[in-house]
Amino acid sequence: MSKILIVDDEIQIRSLLARMLELEGYEVCQAGDCKAAVKQLEVQSPDVVLCDVFLPDGNGVDLVLNIKKQAPNVEVILLTAHGNIPDGVQAIKNGAFDYITKGDDNNKIIPLISRAAEKARMNVRLEKLEKKVGQMYSFDSILGESKVLKEAISLAQKVSVTDVPVLLTGETGTGKEVFAQAIHYNSKRSKQNFVAVNCSSFSKELLESEMFGHKAGSFTGALKDKKGLFEEANNGTIFLDEIGEMAFELQAKLLRILETGEYIKIGDTKPTRVNVRIIAATNRNLQEEIKEGCFREDLFYRLSVFQVHLPALRERAGDISILAAAFAKSFSEKLSYSISEMTPAFLEALEKQSWKGNIRELRNVIERSLIVCEGGRLDICDLPLEIQNTHYECSDDSAEGFELAAMERRHIARVLEYTKGNKTETARLLKIGLTTLYRKIEEYKI
Protein backbone atom coordinates (compact mmCIF):
# COMPACT_ATOMS: atom_id res chain seq x y z
CA MET A 1 0.00 0.00 0.00
CA SER A 2 1.15 3.56 -0.68
CA LYS A 3 2.83 5.81 1.88
CA ILE A 4 1.40 9.28 2.56
CA LEU A 5 3.28 12.23 4.12
CA ILE A 6 1.02 14.73 5.89
CA VAL A 7 2.51 18.22 6.29
CA ASP A 8 0.57 20.58 8.60
CA ASP A 9 1.54 22.70 11.62
CA GLU A 10 -1.70 21.84 13.45
CA ILE A 11 -1.24 18.55 15.33
CA GLN A 12 -4.98 17.89 15.60
CA ILE A 13 -5.51 18.15 11.84
CA ARG A 14 -2.49 15.91 11.18
CA SER A 15 -3.77 13.31 13.62
CA LEU A 16 -7.27 13.36 12.14
CA LEU A 17 -5.99 12.99 8.58
CA ALA A 18 -3.54 10.27 9.64
CA ARG A 19 -6.33 8.29 11.32
CA MET A 20 -8.55 8.59 8.21
CA LEU A 21 -5.79 7.40 5.92
CA GLU A 22 -4.65 4.55 8.17
CA LEU A 23 -8.21 3.24 8.25
CA GLU A 24 -8.04 3.14 4.43
CA GLY A 25 -4.90 1.00 4.69
CA TYR A 26 -2.30 3.69 3.90
CA GLU A 27 1.02 3.98 5.72
CA VAL A 28 1.32 7.49 7.14
CA CYS A 29 4.21 9.74 8.23
CA GLN A 30 3.98 13.36 9.44
CA ALA A 31 5.80 16.70 9.41
CA GLY A 32 4.92 20.09 10.97
CA ASP A 33 6.84 22.43 8.67
CA CYS A 34 8.78 22.68 5.39
CA LYS A 35 12.14 21.70 6.90
CA ALA A 36 10.70 18.57 8.54
CA ALA A 37 8.83 17.72 5.33
CA VAL A 38 12.06 17.77 3.28
CA LYS A 39 13.72 15.55 5.89
CA GLN A 40 10.82 13.06 5.87
CA LEU A 41 10.91 13.04 2.09
CA GLU A 42 14.48 11.73 2.24
CA VAL A 43 13.91 9.24 5.06
CA GLN A 44 10.42 7.88 4.31
CA SER A 45 10.19 8.10 0.47
CA PRO A 46 6.42 8.72 0.41
CA ASP A 47 4.28 8.29 -2.70
CA VAL A 48 1.95 11.22 -1.97
CA VAL A 49 2.38 14.42 0.07
CA LEU A 50 -0.75 15.99 1.58
CA CYS A 51 0.41 19.50 2.44
CA ASP A 52 -1.03 22.64 4.02
CA VAL A 53 -0.44 25.88 2.10
CA PHE A 54 0.45 28.05 5.12
CA LEU A 55 3.34 26.64 7.14
CA PRO A 56 5.49 28.25 9.89
CA ASP A 57 8.68 28.37 7.80
CA GLY A 58 7.31 28.71 4.26
CA ASN A 59 4.53 28.31 1.76
CA GLY A 60 3.19 24.98 0.52
CA VAL A 61 2.88 26.32 -3.03
CA ASP A 62 6.64 26.99 -3.07
CA LEU A 63 7.35 23.69 -1.30
CA VAL A 64 5.81 21.84 -4.26
CA LEU A 65 8.72 22.96 -6.43
CA ASN A 66 11.29 21.63 -3.93
CA ILE A 67 9.44 18.32 -3.56
CA LYS A 68 9.17 17.78 -7.34
CA LYS A 69 12.84 18.67 -7.74
CA GLN A 70 13.93 16.27 -4.99
CA ALA A 71 11.47 13.47 -5.80
CA PRO A 72 9.86 13.93 -9.27
CA ASN A 73 7.68 10.82 -8.93
CA VAL A 74 5.95 12.02 -5.74
CA GLU A 75 2.50 13.58 -6.16
CA VAL A 76 1.54 16.60 -4.01
CA ILE A 77 -1.98 17.61 -2.94
CA LEU A 78 -2.25 21.06 -1.36
CA LEU A 79 -4.79 21.85 1.37
CA THR A 80 -5.78 25.38 2.29
CA ALA A 81 -8.23 26.96 4.73
CA HIS A 82 -8.82 29.92 2.43
CA GLY A 83 -8.53 28.93 -1.21
CA ASN A 84 -7.82 31.51 -3.87
CA ILE A 85 -7.49 31.14 -7.62
CA PRO A 86 -3.96 32.61 -8.07
CA ASP A 87 -2.52 30.18 -5.47
CA GLY A 88 -4.34 27.27 -7.08
CA VAL A 89 -3.05 28.15 -10.55
CA GLN A 90 0.52 28.57 -9.30
CA ALA A 91 0.35 25.28 -7.38
CA ILE A 92 -0.63 23.36 -10.52
CA LYS A 93 2.10 25.15 -12.49
CA ASN A 94 4.62 24.09 -9.84
CA GLY A 95 3.57 20.47 -10.32
CA ALA A 96 0.88 19.88 -7.68
CA PHE A 97 -1.57 17.04 -8.36
CA ASP A 98 -4.47 19.11 -6.98
CA TYR A 99 -5.37 22.05 -4.76
CA ILE A 100 -8.41 21.76 -2.44
CA THR A 101 -10.08 23.63 0.43
CA LYS A 102 -10.12 22.19 3.96
CA GLY A 103 -13.53 21.32 5.39
CA ASP A 104 -15.56 21.79 2.23
CA ASP A 105 -13.65 19.11 0.37
CA ASN A 106 -13.05 16.53 3.14
CA ASN A 107 -15.19 13.96 1.31
CA LYS A 108 -12.91 14.35 -1.72
CA ILE A 109 -9.65 13.63 0.09
CA ILE A 110 -9.68 9.79 0.08
CA PRO A 111 -10.63 9.38 -3.63
CA LEU A 112 -8.16 12.13 -4.52
CA ILE A 113 -5.32 10.46 -2.62
CA SER A 114 -6.18 7.15 -4.28
CA ARG A 115 -5.83 8.74 -7.72
CA ALA A 116 -2.63 10.54 -6.73
CA ALA A 117 -1.13 7.31 -5.34
CA GLU A 118 -1.96 5.47 -8.56
CA LYS A 119 -0.31 8.25 -10.60
CA ALA A 120 2.77 8.08 -8.36
CA ARG A 121 3.03 4.32 -8.95
CA MET A 122 2.64 4.94 -12.65
CA ASN A 123 5.42 7.54 -12.50
CA VAL A 124 7.74 4.93 -10.99
CA ARG A 125 6.81 2.32 -13.59
CA LEU A 126 7.33 4.85 -16.37
CA GLU A 127 10.73 5.83 -14.99
CA LYS A 128 11.80 2.17 -14.88
CA LEU A 129 10.52 1.66 -18.42
CA GLU A 130 12.36 4.75 -19.67
CA LYS A 131 15.52 3.54 -17.97
CA LYS A 132 15.13 0.11 -19.57
CA VAL A 133 14.48 1.68 -23.00
CA GLY A 134 17.48 3.96 -22.51
CA GLN A 135 19.69 0.94 -21.77
CA MET A 136 18.21 -0.99 -24.71
CA TYR A 137 19.00 1.82 -27.13
CA SER A 138 22.24 3.05 -25.59
CA PHE A 139 25.46 3.01 -27.60
CA ASP A 140 26.72 0.34 -25.17
CA SER A 141 24.07 -2.02 -26.56
CA ILE A 142 25.73 -1.93 -30.01
CA LEU A 143 27.87 -5.08 -29.95
CA GLY A 144 31.36 -5.32 -31.37
CA GLU A 145 34.98 -4.50 -30.63
CA SER A 146 36.34 -3.81 -34.13
CA LYS A 147 38.05 -0.52 -34.80
CA VAL A 148 35.74 0.46 -37.69
CA LEU A 149 32.64 -0.06 -35.53
CA LYS A 150 34.12 1.87 -32.60
CA GLU A 151 34.87 4.78 -34.93
CA ALA A 152 31.25 4.82 -36.17
CA ILE A 153 29.93 4.70 -32.59
CA SER A 154 32.24 7.53 -31.54
CA LEU A 155 30.97 9.76 -34.37
CA ALA A 156 27.33 8.94 -33.56
CA GLN A 157 27.87 9.73 -29.88
CA LYS A 158 29.32 13.11 -30.73
CA VAL A 159 26.44 14.10 -33.01
CA SER A 160 23.72 12.74 -30.70
CA VAL A 161 24.03 15.67 -28.28
CA THR A 162 23.50 18.17 -31.11
CA ASP A 163 20.35 18.77 -33.12
CA VAL A 164 21.77 18.60 -36.65
CA PRO A 165 20.44 16.24 -39.36
CA VAL A 166 22.37 12.97 -39.68
CA LEU A 167 22.85 10.75 -42.74
CA LEU A 168 23.64 7.10 -42.00
CA THR A 169 25.20 5.20 -44.90
CA GLY A 170 26.03 1.54 -45.33
CA GLU A 171 24.80 -1.72 -46.80
CA THR A 172 21.41 -3.23 -45.98
CA GLY A 173 21.38 -4.96 -42.61
CA THR A 174 24.28 -3.07 -41.03
CA GLY A 175 22.12 -1.70 -38.20
CA LYS A 176 21.25 1.80 -39.38
CA GLU A 177 17.97 1.92 -37.43
CA VAL A 178 19.77 0.74 -34.27
CA PHE A 179 22.19 3.66 -34.67
CA ALA A 180 19.31 6.07 -35.33
CA GLN A 181 17.56 4.96 -32.13
CA ALA A 182 20.77 5.29 -30.13
CA ILE A 183 21.28 8.84 -31.44
CA HIS A 184 17.68 9.74 -30.52
CA TYR A 185 17.71 8.20 -27.03
CA ASN A 186 21.01 9.92 -26.21
CA SER A 187 19.76 13.32 -27.38
CA LYS A 188 17.80 16.07 -25.64
CA ARG A 189 14.73 14.78 -27.52
CA SER A 190 14.92 11.34 -25.89
CA LYS A 191 11.61 11.71 -24.00
CA GLN A 192 9.76 12.60 -27.21
CA ASN A 193 8.63 10.32 -30.05
CA PHE A 194 10.99 8.38 -32.29
CA VAL A 195 9.15 7.69 -35.56
CA ALA A 196 10.63 5.41 -38.24
CA VAL A 197 9.42 5.19 -41.82
CA ASN A 198 10.82 3.12 -44.67
CA CYS A 199 10.59 5.25 -47.82
CA SER A 200 10.74 2.17 -50.06
CA SER A 201 7.64 0.58 -48.49
CA PHE A 202 5.08 2.96 -50.00
CA SER A 203 4.05 4.31 -53.38
CA LYS A 204 4.66 8.03 -53.96
CA GLU A 205 1.05 8.98 -53.21
CA LEU A 206 0.78 6.83 -50.10
CA LEU A 207 4.16 7.94 -48.77
CA GLU A 208 3.16 11.60 -49.13
CA SER A 209 -0.04 10.98 -47.17
CA GLU A 210 1.76 8.93 -44.51
CA MET A 211 4.55 11.43 -44.00
CA PHE A 212 2.71 14.74 -44.31
CA GLY A 213 -0.95 13.85 -43.65
CA HIS A 214 -4.01 15.06 -45.53
CA LYS A 215 -7.29 16.93 -45.13
CA ALA A 216 -10.66 15.23 -45.38
CA GLY A 217 -11.95 15.16 -48.97
CA SER A 218 -8.55 15.89 -50.52
CA PHE A 219 -8.75 12.65 -52.53
CA THR A 220 -11.01 9.61 -52.92
CA GLY A 221 -11.09 7.70 -49.65
CA ALA A 222 -9.87 10.62 -47.52
CA LEU A 223 -12.89 10.58 -45.21
CA LYS A 224 -11.28 12.49 -42.34
CA ASP A 225 -8.22 14.56 -41.51
CA LYS A 226 -5.05 12.52 -41.04
CA LYS A 227 -1.97 13.47 -39.06
CA GLY A 228 1.25 12.69 -40.85
CA LEU A 229 4.31 11.04 -39.34
CA PHE A 230 6.07 14.40 -39.15
CA GLU A 231 3.33 15.63 -36.82
CA GLU A 232 3.62 12.44 -34.78
CA ALA A 233 7.35 13.08 -34.45
CA ASN A 234 6.94 16.75 -33.50
CA ASN A 235 9.59 17.75 -30.91
CA GLY A 236 11.15 14.31 -31.38
CA THR A 237 13.03 12.49 -34.14
CA ILE A 238 11.93 11.04 -37.46
CA PHE A 239 14.04 8.32 -39.08
CA LEU A 240 13.75 8.18 -42.87
CA ASP A 241 15.14 4.80 -43.92
CA GLU A 242 16.02 4.18 -47.58
CA ILE A 243 15.87 7.92 -48.30
CA GLY A 244 17.30 7.24 -51.77
CA GLU A 245 13.97 5.59 -52.68
CA MET A 246 11.93 8.74 -52.01
CA ALA A 247 10.13 10.11 -55.07
CA PHE A 248 11.84 13.18 -56.55
CA GLU A 249 8.69 15.31 -56.11
CA LEU A 250 8.51 14.59 -52.36
CA GLN A 251 12.12 15.56 -51.87
CA ALA A 252 11.15 19.23 -52.32
CA LYS A 253 8.70 18.98 -49.39
CA LEU A 254 11.37 17.40 -47.22
CA LEU A 255 13.82 20.13 -48.17
CA ARG A 256 11.29 22.78 -47.12
CA ILE A 257 10.92 21.17 -43.68
CA LEU A 258 14.69 21.20 -43.24
CA GLU A 259 14.87 24.86 -44.24
CA THR A 260 11.73 26.35 -42.67
CA GLY A 261 10.19 23.71 -40.39
CA GLU A 262 6.98 23.94 -42.46
CA TYR A 263 5.08 21.84 -45.00
CA ILE A 264 1.59 21.78 -46.50
CA LYS A 265 -0.64 18.74 -46.06
CA ILE A 266 -2.42 17.24 -49.04
CA GLY A 267 -5.57 19.28 -49.63
CA ASP A 268 -4.60 22.03 -47.17
CA THR A 269 -3.88 25.68 -47.90
CA LYS A 270 -2.12 26.61 -44.66
CA PRO A 271 1.34 25.38 -43.68
CA THR A 272 1.87 23.04 -40.72
CA ARG A 273 4.84 23.80 -38.47
CA VAL A 274 6.93 21.08 -36.84
CA ASN A 275 10.07 20.97 -34.74
CA VAL A 276 11.65 17.65 -35.61
CA ARG A 277 15.13 16.21 -35.98
CA ILE A 278 15.70 14.22 -39.16
CA ILE A 279 17.94 11.17 -39.34
CA ALA A 280 18.10 9.64 -42.81
CA ALA A 281 19.66 6.39 -43.99
CA THR A 282 20.54 4.88 -47.34
CA ASN A 283 22.38 1.93 -48.85
CA ARG A 284 22.74 3.82 -52.14
CA ASN A 285 25.48 6.16 -53.31
CA LEU A 286 23.47 9.40 -53.25
CA GLN A 287 26.11 11.33 -55.16
CA GLU A 288 25.72 8.87 -58.03
CA GLU A 289 21.93 9.28 -57.73
CA ILE A 290 22.42 13.06 -58.04
CA LYS A 291 24.40 12.62 -61.27
CA GLU A 292 21.61 10.44 -62.66
CA GLY A 293 19.00 13.06 -61.73
CA CYS A 294 17.25 10.86 -59.16
CA PHE A 295 18.15 12.80 -56.03
CA ARG A 296 18.22 16.52 -55.29
CA GLU A 297 21.69 17.87 -54.67
CA ASP A 298 20.43 20.63 -52.34
CA LEU A 299 18.56 18.04 -50.23
CA PHE A 300 21.67 15.84 -50.05
CA TYR A 301 23.73 18.67 -48.60
CA ARG A 302 21.01 19.52 -46.07
CA LEU A 303 20.66 15.88 -44.96
CA SER A 304 24.37 15.11 -44.87
CA VAL A 305 25.43 17.87 -42.48
CA PHE A 306 26.89 14.97 -40.51
CA GLN A 307 27.51 11.55 -42.06
CA VAL A 308 28.17 8.28 -40.25
CA HIS A 309 29.17 5.25 -42.34
CA LEU A 310 28.33 1.86 -40.86
CA PRO A 311 30.79 -0.91 -41.78
CA ALA A 312 29.66 -4.12 -43.46
CA LEU A 313 29.91 -7.28 -41.35
CA ARG A 314 32.71 -8.68 -43.54
CA GLU A 315 34.76 -5.59 -42.59
CA ARG A 316 34.46 -6.52 -38.92
CA ALA A 317 34.81 -10.31 -39.00
CA GLY A 318 36.19 -10.29 -35.46
CA ASP A 319 32.76 -9.19 -34.20
CA ILE A 320 30.90 -12.16 -35.71
CA SER A 321 31.49 -14.46 -32.72
CA ILE A 322 30.34 -11.69 -30.32
CA LEU A 323 27.14 -11.11 -32.30
CA ALA A 324 26.51 -14.85 -32.76
CA ALA A 325 26.80 -15.44 -29.00
CA ALA A 326 24.41 -12.56 -28.25
CA PHE A 327 21.83 -13.76 -30.80
CA ALA A 328 22.11 -17.35 -29.55
CA LYS A 329 21.51 -16.20 -25.97
CA SER A 330 18.53 -14.07 -26.98
CA PHE A 331 16.86 -16.76 -29.08
CA SER A 332 17.57 -19.54 -26.57
CA GLU A 333 15.73 -17.51 -23.92
CA LYS A 334 12.74 -17.04 -26.24
CA LEU A 335 12.67 -20.72 -27.18
CA SER A 336 13.39 -21.88 -23.59
CA TYR A 337 16.31 -23.82 -25.01
CA SER A 338 19.72 -24.02 -23.35
CA ILE A 339 22.84 -23.63 -25.52
CA SER A 340 26.05 -24.79 -23.85
CA GLU A 341 28.52 -23.94 -26.63
CA MET A 342 29.21 -23.03 -30.23
CA THR A 343 31.88 -25.29 -31.70
CA PRO A 344 35.03 -23.85 -33.32
CA ALA A 345 33.90 -25.31 -36.68
CA PHE A 346 30.54 -23.51 -36.31
CA LEU A 347 32.21 -20.15 -35.62
CA GLU A 348 34.84 -20.69 -38.33
CA ALA A 349 32.11 -21.32 -40.91
CA LEU A 350 30.35 -18.10 -39.85
CA GLU A 351 33.55 -16.07 -40.11
CA LYS A 352 34.22 -17.33 -43.66
CA GLN A 353 30.89 -16.01 -44.97
CA SER A 354 30.64 -12.81 -47.01
CA TRP A 355 27.34 -11.89 -45.26
CA LYS A 356 25.73 -9.86 -48.03
CA GLY A 357 22.75 -9.35 -45.71
CA ASN A 358 25.10 -8.32 -42.89
CA ILE A 359 23.90 -8.44 -39.25
CA ARG A 360 20.31 -9.15 -40.24
CA GLU A 361 21.38 -12.23 -42.21
CA LEU A 362 23.61 -13.46 -39.36
CA ARG A 363 20.71 -13.05 -36.92
CA ASN A 364 18.43 -15.14 -39.14
CA VAL A 365 21.06 -17.86 -39.54
CA ILE A 366 21.58 -18.12 -35.76
CA GLU A 367 17.82 -18.34 -35.18
CA ARG A 368 17.46 -21.07 -37.81
CA SER A 369 20.47 -22.99 -36.42
CA LEU A 370 19.03 -22.88 -32.92
CA ILE A 371 15.74 -24.38 -34.11
CA VAL A 372 17.43 -27.42 -35.73
CA CYS A 373 20.10 -27.80 -33.05
CA GLU A 374 20.03 -30.89 -30.83
CA GLY A 375 21.86 -31.43 -27.55
CA GLY A 376 22.40 -27.78 -26.71
CA ARG A 377 25.53 -27.54 -28.87
CA LEU A 378 25.65 -25.46 -32.05
CA ASP A 379 27.79 -27.26 -34.62
CA ILE A 380 28.44 -26.82 -38.32
CA CYS A 381 25.75 -29.38 -39.20
CA ASP A 382 23.16 -26.97 -37.74
CA LEU A 383 23.99 -24.27 -40.28
CA PRO A 384 22.10 -23.86 -43.58
CA LEU A 385 23.46 -26.09 -46.36
CA GLU A 386 24.83 -23.20 -48.41
CA ILE A 387 27.04 -22.12 -45.48
CA GLN A 388 28.18 -25.69 -44.86
CA ASN A 389 29.08 -26.05 -48.54
CA THR A 390 30.99 -22.78 -48.58
CA HIS A 391 32.90 -23.87 -45.50
CA TYR A 392 33.96 -27.16 -47.08
CA GLU A 393 34.80 -25.45 -50.37
CA CYS A 394 37.06 -23.03 -48.50
CA SER A 395 38.81 -26.05 -46.96
CA ASP A 396 39.53 -27.74 -50.32
CA ASP A 397 43.18 -26.70 -50.34
CA SER A 398 43.78 -29.38 -47.68
CA ALA A 399 44.32 -33.04 -48.57
CA GLU A 400 40.85 -33.84 -47.23
CA GLY A 401 39.37 -31.54 -49.86
CA PHE A 402 40.47 -33.94 -52.63
CA GLU A 403 38.97 -37.04 -51.03
CA LEU A 404 36.22 -38.70 -53.08
CA ALA A 405 33.99 -39.01 -50.00
CA ALA A 406 34.27 -35.28 -49.24
CA MET A 407 33.41 -34.41 -52.83
CA GLU A 408 30.44 -36.82 -52.82
CA ARG A 409 29.16 -35.35 -49.54
CA ARG A 410 29.26 -31.80 -50.93
CA HIS A 411 27.55 -32.87 -54.15
CA ILE A 412 24.70 -34.62 -52.30
CA ALA A 413 24.31 -31.58 -50.03
CA ARG A 414 24.09 -29.26 -53.06
CA VAL A 415 21.42 -31.38 -54.74
CA LEU A 416 19.44 -31.57 -51.48
CA GLU A 417 19.60 -27.79 -51.31
CA TYR A 418 18.46 -27.53 -54.94
CA THR A 419 15.44 -29.77 -54.27
CA LYS A 420 14.73 -27.97 -50.97
CA GLY A 421 15.22 -31.23 -49.05
CA ASN A 422 13.03 -33.41 -51.29
CA LYS A 423 14.85 -36.74 -50.96
CA THR A 424 12.86 -38.57 -53.67
CA GLU A 425 13.71 -35.85 -56.21
CA THR A 426 17.31 -35.77 -54.97
CA ALA A 427 17.69 -39.53 -55.50
CA ARG A 428 16.21 -39.20 -59.01
CA LEU A 429 18.65 -36.43 -59.99
CA LEU A 430 21.60 -38.32 -58.52
CA LYS A 431 20.39 -41.49 -60.30
CA ILE A 432 20.69 -43.56 -57.13
CA GLY A 433 18.11 -45.48 -55.10
CA LEU A 434 16.25 -43.73 -52.29
CA THR A 435 17.61 -46.27 -49.80
CA THR A 436 21.15 -45.51 -50.96
CA LEU A 437 20.53 -41.78 -50.52
CA TYR A 438 19.28 -42.26 -46.95
CA ARG A 439 22.34 -44.39 -46.18
CA LYS A 440 24.72 -41.75 -47.52
CA ILE A 441 22.91 -38.95 -45.67
CA GLU A 442 23.37 -40.95 -42.45
CA GLU A 443 26.97 -41.84 -43.30
CA TYR A 444 28.01 -38.29 -44.15
CA LYS A 445 25.86 -36.75 -41.39
CA ILE A 446 24.30 -34.31 -43.85
> How does pLDDT run across 353-393, given as a tens digit for each residue?
999 999 999 999 999 888 888 778 898 888 887 787 766 55
Q: Is the dihedral of CA 115, 119, 121, 122 positive or negative?
A: positive
Quote the CA–CA distance of 93 and 115 in Å, as a whole number.
19
Give the pLDDT of residue 182.
95
CB neighbours of 197 closer than 8 A, spacing ≥ 6? 207, 210, 211, 229, 238, 239, 240, 241
Is the pLDDT at 104 greater than 70? The verdict is no
Which tens digit of pLDDT belongs to each residue from 209-221?
999 999 888 887 7
Quote the CA–CA distance of 202 and 242 in Å, as a whole number.
11
Is the pLDDT at 27 greater than 50? The verdict is yes
Quote the CA–CA distance of 444 and 434 in Å, as a whole number.
15
pTM of the predicted structure, to 2 decimals: 0.66
First to last CA, the chain: 61
Quote the CA–CA distance of 65 and 310 in Å, as a whole number.
45
User: What's the maximum distance between 2 C-alpha atoms anywhere in the chain?
Assistant: 100
Provide the pLDDT confidence category of residue 431 given band limits of 50, 70 and 90: confident
| DSSP bridge pairs for 240 | 197, 280
Which tens digit of pLDDT belongs to each residue from 174-224?
999 999 999 999 999 998 999 999 999 888 889 999 999 998 888 877 788
Say what the alpha-carbon torsion angle 387, 389, 394, 398 is, to the nearest 10 degrees: 140
Quote the CA–CA distance of 230 and 100 in Å, as a whole number.
40
Q: Determine the average pLDDT of the residues in 115-130.
A: 87
Contact (CB, 8 A) for 277 and 183? no
Quote the CA–CA distance of 392 and 410 in Å, as a whole number.
8
